[in-house]
Structure 1
């Protein structure tokens, strides 16, 4: 099954209501069972502990963290035992589009059949601009606007961004509502009002937890658990995973960079930043795919051998040192977080029975597969990929055909005005007759070169004279063409896939899931 997922080129659905799920949704439980058996018997130890034991410990720790997190958010608690099949997904905790939302609601639905489900908000990622896109109709037509709730520096993660004051949150929702009310669309207006009402009592310290709480209240009662990456990273088994990599930094970085390069070559990617940058090595310092959070900002973590162990560096400063043979307890007090590949590698190996990606993650995790095979020496557990497209009912059309028609009409008005004149005057009729006599002479092939030039010039003069009488029509076509160019913004706004989930009802996504589960 891993080979099957790896071989597929995932494509985002283009039509509203369409979904992608590889493998099909009804096969997710069977795939989770297959992965569980693979990982239970895997001959892998991480920092001296068998993988199967790490998984049991990590699952127990994360289940307890889920209870604490639910209590912080005043949500129903969801727990899971170490032996239960566990479906996991995750994403940055912003107001994402329904295609991302689908991952969460799908694992919740599938897990109703004797399994458990977990969402891991990636609050260790950079927050930057936290907001939402909205459609707006005004005197210039339909257009796309963006409203910002919170803005942070590029190196500040969600976990370090304070939750907005209640007045700012309400003002943000009011701005979104004002945009949506410019359109005759009751559904997104009702959805946003429901969301605002459901999220009215959310209280949290950071923006990631705040938006997670808002989403969970809007979804209604669901069974799946939530544990953000910042909480997961504080667990002993994640620290054990980090220690394992720290001890073998050069080899891990070499494997990581090799498979990143191979992926770029296979995918014809020319930029070294995609899907993520190589790990750098300079002056004895080896960068690793982890962040360290200090003073509310995240920095890449590097290591450097010392006489007594391993030095930990960030931002050019020594932030700690651990003995070479130390265990995970040596990292206590350090806020170390995974980057993309180490997050999914740890989650797939040490926590989940099945990890459910979106399209972007499904593509880059092919690198993770290769790293797991070479570095950890086992066959990687398979993952699933799912997404969907939901458009607001704004109406959309392909302006290209209309543009081509108008451009042909303009050329005809300029070069064949006789075909456009419906009621030519006697004078115009005389010019038209002369033009066709001249064309017949050209087609006869008996004119000398100088005569052909003279005839061609005369035809052009006739066209220009006839065209002057069509100036009003020509101006109207030019106006329509200009309107179409301006309408490109409206077309883009109508077809935009990135509107936030709070413009859609949970039932709309549940209906897509119903269809996915009904397919064989």
Structure 2
């Protein structure tokens, strides 16, 4: 049974307003979310019938919002961010497919449906999100974008295959690449091309013990992954190319964009600098709302749904990861203001210093952030 408990946020600056009319925060509602017990059932919140209507409401709200944030009006910031992200997504999708991607001229008016996941070989329960946004975009003459979460860590380079008999079944693992130390997808390259190339054939052979099974879908999609090795040795790119090619055969034309490339766009760097500049207020609001969520949903874990942001000796934790090229461990990113500068640290070393006065714009700080990838 669900219960409703109001926990209004006490920080007035966290309230979002559209123009001059404030929009009150909705009450937290505890929901008992359960996995469906039957086959061919889709679990969705909100209901699938509401998706297009909700997207239209979001578009109208943000288009009319006149609140200022670090010198940017929300409505113009939205327009800038949408165009930058979609243009980068069009470039990346063209790299995957080998065909140019044309964007409509009226990007501000188009509905945009987004989802995202790590680039791993995921199951249908995850894949359905891609199909859903693709169909929603088609029904509304909008756009759909899948964010490839390549800043997450590679957890495995193998899949489990059922073996044995119906009476004594067991799993065996078949690898598509050499076992590697955990590191972000964006830095992971294919180590053994022959292992990668023969992956689908080895899976198909292993499944021959189940003659009643149809040919695995992997056999259809893997040639695209192998072909993409000629363009890129990044594991994430090759797996994305295979998945995207299959979605196209199903009539889905989602745009694709890795998080690593989105993070290099101007609007994202502006967003990061805005949070650095307002790190203390952001941490306070983040932890306050997180506490409210846990109370309503009776969550006792200190790490779910996310940990609190910490502060120590003036160093404030931000909601970002940072690492150096070649490292196998990500670090929290901490910020500290020193007069008209903000220092960024991984908790041990100061990584860089951003010029950022209390009342200045963020352009100088953005230029410094742009240089970080070239510095490793």
Q: Per the shorter chain, which TM-score range?
A: 0.7 to 0.9
1:62-461 pair list within 5 angstroms: 62-76=85-99, 77=101, 79-80=103-104, 81-113=107-139, 114-138=141-165, 141-150=168-177, 151-154=179-182, 156-187=183-214, 189-203=215-229, 204-219=232-247, 220=249, 221-297=251-327, 298-324=330-356, 325=360, 326-327=362-363, 328-335=366-373
Cα gap change, 1:4/1:217 in structure 2, threshold over 3 Å: closer, same or farther?
farther
Residue pair 1:293, 1:335 contacting (<8 A) in 2 also = no
SS of equivalent to 1:118: strand
TM-score by length of 2: 0.81
- Measure the CA separation in 2 of the matches of 1:55 and 1:257: 26
Quick one: higher RCO (CA 8 Å, sep 6+), 1 or 2?
1
Listed one character per residue, the Cα deviations across residues 311-363 of structure 1 (whole Å, up to 9, x for unaligned) are 01114111111122333333212359xxxxxxxxxxxxxxxxxxxxxxxxxxx
- Measure the CA separation in 1 of the matches of 2:345 and 2:156: 28
Listed one character per residue, the Cα deviations across residues 55-88 of structure 1 (whole Å, up to 9, x for unaligned) are 1111111222122212322344253523211111
- Measure the CA separation in 2 of the matches of 1:20 and 1:266: 22
Cα gap change, 1:174/1:140 in structure 2, threshold over 3 Å: closer, same or farther?
farther
CA RMSD of aligned residues (A): 2.5
Residue pair 1:290, 1:300 contacting (<8 A) in 2 also = yes
- Measure the CA separation in 2 of the matches of 1:136 and 1:59: 47
Cα gap change, 1:179/1:262 in structure 2, threshold over 3 Å: closer, same or farther?
farther
Q: Which residue of 1 aligns with 2:16?
A: none
- Measure the CA separation in 2 of the matches of 1:169 and 1:55: 41
Q: Please identify which structure carries the higher helix content.
A: 1
Cα gap change, 1:330/1:200 in structure 2, threshold over 3 Å: closer, same or farther?
closer
1:41 to 64, 67, 76: 64
SS of equivalent to 2:43: strand
- Measure the CA separation in 1 of the matches of 2:306 and 2:173: 27
Structure 1: gaps spanning 5 or more residues: 337-520
Structure 2: gaps spanning 5 or more residues: 1-24
SS of equivalent to 2:308: coil
- Measure the CA separation in 1 of the matches of 2:282 and 2:176: 39
Shift of 1:192: 2.6
Residue pair 2:30, 2:296 contacting (<8 A) in 1 also = no
Cα gap change, 1:135/1:75 in structure 2, threshold over 3 Å: closer, same or farther?
farther
Shift of 1:35: 0.8
- Measure the CA separation in 2 of the matches of 1:268 and 1:55: 35
Q: Which residue of 1 aligns with 2:11?
A: none
Shift of 1:18: 1.1
- Measure the CA separation in 1 of the matches of 2:211 and 2:29: 44
Equivalenced residues, count: 333
Shift of 1:287: 1.1
Residue pair 1:95, 1:131 contacting (<8 A) in 2 also = no
Q: Which residue of 1 aligns with 2:41?
A: 18
Residue pair 1:57, 1:237 contacting (<8 A) in 2 also = yes
- Measure the CA separation in 2 of the matches of 1:205 and 1:165: 10
Moved more, 55-64 or 238-247: 55-64
Residue pair 2:29, 2:296 contacting (<8 A) in 1 also = no
TM-score by length of 1: 0.60
| Structure 1 segments of 4+ aligned residues over 6 angstroms from their partners | none
Moved more, 243-252 or 293-302: 293-302
Listed one character per residue, the Cα deviations across residues 158-205 of structure 1 (whole Å, up to 9, x for unaligned) are 001113543121343334323322213332x24232223443412223
- Measure the CA separation in 2 of the matches of 1:293 and 1:236: 20
